[in-house]
Amino acid sequence: MLVRAVVLAAALGAIVLPAREAAARDARSDAKEQVEFGIKVAQNGLWKEAAYRWERAVQIDPTYGAAWNNLAIAYEQQGNFEKAREAYEKAVTLEPKNLLFRQNYDLFKEINDRAKRRRDR
Amino acid sequence: MTARSAAAIVSLALAGTVACTSFYEIPIETPIQPKMDVSMFQRVLIAGFIGGGTEDVDTNLETVRLLRSQLRTKSSLRVIEAEALQLAEIIRDQAKTEAPLPSSPGGAADGQQQAAPAPVPPLPNGGPEPIRIRNEKDLEKYQSIFSDVSFWKKLGEEYQGPLIITGTVLFSPLATAGYVPIEREYFDQLGRRRVIQSRAYQERKGFTLQPKLIYIDGRTGATLYSETLREEVLYSAQTNTPALSSYFELMDKLIPSFLNTLSMQKIRGTRVLVK
């Protein structure tokens, strides 16, 4: 009886785990499509559309650091600093070793903090 | 496997990861919201400033000219062309008429009269002594005019209630000495030019510019906003930089902050989009 239960659990695991991995892979590839399209439109200056695409990307795959990084840039370009900060923080939390995310975030902070200091003065 | 070969494999893997990442550098323009809401004004009057510090530059006139030209091209407000007010002289004249009797020099009991500068003794030829403002302490005596609501309201009425910009501008020489980073060049044994960074003790001189900009509602005479900015520049003691060019060099650094008070500014930069 016990042996049968163990065998059944192993068989279920063998089916469910790869299925879950495959779903994650699908989500990442769908999100990647959105990210790539967002980059194309951003390069043509269509930042609103780009932001929409990257918002979709992080909805599909919230663990996709690059999507958060790009979304933060779009928010920054639109002057939406609070949202930009949150998105940058998400990107550097997901990939703390990514120097490109860190560099973008540092540049953003430099401008945003300076603007804040001016306003507070 | 030795630690060295393991480290080599790890660094190769890292280099590979970076090389595989697709990234795109993209120019962006970050909009910075104005510090003040000036939507109720269509026109702006740069009235004049109380200048002080070095006498080599007429800080009042130069600041009025510079700010007007900046606003003409970089703001939606219409700039009123009027003669720059000589505020220090206006205050002196006001003080003359309100001056206490000689028996009680500077001994006015109420705060208002204490704030006004002491009357200036006439020169032997009959004209008033020129006003010399050397430092912040000298400037303090003239600050009372900025809170004189009736003065600014009257001025505003003359120009149909514009936004009035005034304040003080202190432009003073500066001298200091200390260690500064320098580059030394030398030629090695093969005749190649090499540059090394080092530090050397140097005497330096320059200028400090400290404008206090005050924004007044020309309809009511009330102060809407004020800010004090500060910049300094230092050169080697051997360099002879004219005061006027230093003034413009420093104003160049302060102008973005001034413009950002009245209108949205865009800061250009680049970011990296990642796939």
Rounded average pLDDT over B11-20: 48
Q: Rounded to the nearest 5 degrees, what angle is found at the Cα of A39, between the Cα atoms of A33 and A41? A: 105
Residues 6+ apart with CB under 8 A from B210: B136, B169, B170, B171, B172, B228, B229, B230
Q: Is B231 a domain residue? A: yes
Domain that holds residue B250: 41-96+113-274
Q: Do B35 and A119 touch (CB under 8 A)?
A: yes
Contact A108, A91 (CB under 8 A): no
Q: What is the pLDDT of residue B93?
A: 84
Q: How many domains does chain B have?
A: 1
Amino acid at B230: R
CATH code of the domain covering residue A115: 1.25.40.10
Measured CA to CA, the distance from residue B261 to residue B218 in angstroms comes to: 17
* Greater pLDDT, B253 or B123: B253
Q: CA-nearest residue of chain A to B28? A: A77
| pLDDT band at residue B185 using 50, 70 and 90 as cut-offs | confident
Residue B85 forms beta bridges with which residues? Answer: none
Name which of A69-78, B34-43, B115-124, B179-188 the model is least confident about: B115-124
B263 lies in some domain: yes
Q: What percent of chain A has pLDDT over 90?
A: 65
Q: Across the interface, do A76 and B32 touch by the CB < 8 Å criterion?
A: no
Query: What mean pLDDT is predicted for residues B256-266?
Result: 89
Residue A52 covered by a domain: yes
Q: Is residue A17 part of a domain?
A: no
- Determine, yes or no, domain membership for A8: no
Q: Tens of pLDDT along A14-62?
A: 655 566 677 777 888 899 999 999 999 999 999 999 999 999 999 999 9
pLDDT for B114: 40
Residue B63: per-residue pLDDT: 96
Alpha carbons B99 and B108: distance in angstroms, whole number: 9
- Please check whether residue B18 lies inside any domain of the structure: no
Predicted confidence (pLDDT) at residue A79 exceeds the cutoff of 70 = yes
Q: How many domains does chain A have?
A: 1
Nearest CB to A73; choose among B33, B227, B273: B273
Token pair listed for A92: 């550097």
Confirm if B29 and B267 have CB atoms less than 8 A apart.
yes
Does residue B273 belong to the interface with chain A, where contact is any CB pair within 8 Å? yes
What residues in A contact B273, CB-CB < 8 Å? 39, 42, 69-70, 73
Q: Classify residue B168: in a domain, yes or no.
A: yes
Lowest mean pLDDT of A73-77, B111-115, B192-196, B211-215, name the range: B111-115
**pLDDT over 80 at A114, yes or no:** no
Q: Does B28 lie at the interface with A, CB-CB under 8 angstroms?
A: yes
> Where residue B265 falls among pLDDT bands split at 50, 70, 90?
confident
Q: Which residues of B touch A115 (CB under 8 A)?
A: 32-33, 260
Structural domain that includes position A71: 28-120
Q: Within 10 A of A48 (CB to CB), how many other CB atoms are there?
A: 13
Higher pLDDT, B19 or A116: A116
Q: How far is A19 from chain B (nearest CA, A)?
A: 25
Q: Mean pLDDT highest for which of A86-90, B94-98, B254-258?
A: A86-90
Pairwise CB contact (< 8 Å): A39 & B269 = no
pLDDT in tens, B67-101: 999 999 988 899 999 999 999 888 888 877 765 54
Q: Provide the pLDDT confidence category of residue B41 given band limits of 50, 70 and 90.
A: very high
Place of tokens 């785990």: A17
From start to end of B156-230, where are the E strands? 163-187, 193-217, 223-228
**Tens digits of per-residue pLDDT, B143-179?**
889 999 999 999 999 999 999 999 999 999 999 888 8
What value does the mean pLDDT of chain B take? 83
Of A65, A69, A79, nearest to B31 by CB-CB distance is: A79
Please give the Cα distance from A76 to A87 (Å, whole number): 10
Q: B25 at the A interface (CB within 8 A)?
A: no
Name which residue leads in pLDDT, B190 or B210: B210
> Is B228 contained in some domain?
yes
For the cut 50, the answer to whether the pLDDT of residue A1 exceeds it is yes
pLDDT confidence tier of residue A103, bands split at 50, 70 and 90: very high
pLDDT of residue A113: 77
The pLDDT tens digits of the residues spanning B95-142 come to 777 655 444 333 333 333 444 444 444 444 555 667 788 888 888 888
